[in-house]
A = this chain, B = another copy of it.
Amino acid sequence: MKIGELSARTGVSIRSLRYYEEQGLLAPTRSDNGYREFSPLAEEQVRTIQLYLGLGLSTDQIAGFLHCVLKNREAFCNEVLPIYREKLAEIDSQIHLLQNIKLNLEDRIRSILDERPEGQLEE
């Protein structure tokens, strides 16, 4: 199938599909006229890519194990687990950072409300 059909089937923009190819995540053949020709399997492949992107992985990381997980169960691809753990640690530290900011903001909001219980105006 051509890129337009793959895009329509998956909901992923043509631009992104071309980008995935550039990043080594898709490897369509080329027709005589230069058009990309995708196998029917590409549809599931694109959904798989989207799934990993949704987990916050980069195309680089996905490229490291995509060929394996397309053929095997994830559990048998040794590259996956360390990447998951790395990502999890990263997410955790982001969450902590955001929670600190959140507490700080809540404190400051509370201070303002305490200090200005009425709807006072200024400036």
Contacts and interface: CB of A to CB of B under 8 A. Distances in A.
Nearest to A105: B88
Copies in the complex: 2
Contacts of A68: 122-123
A94 interface: yes
A122 B78 CA distance: 7
A74 B92 CA distance: 32
Of A84, A109, A112, A120, the most chain B CB neighbours within 10 A belong to: A112
Interface in A6-37: none
Interface in A92-123: 92, 94-95, 98-99, 101-102, 104-106, 108-109, 111-112, 115-116, 120-123
A91 B95 contact: no
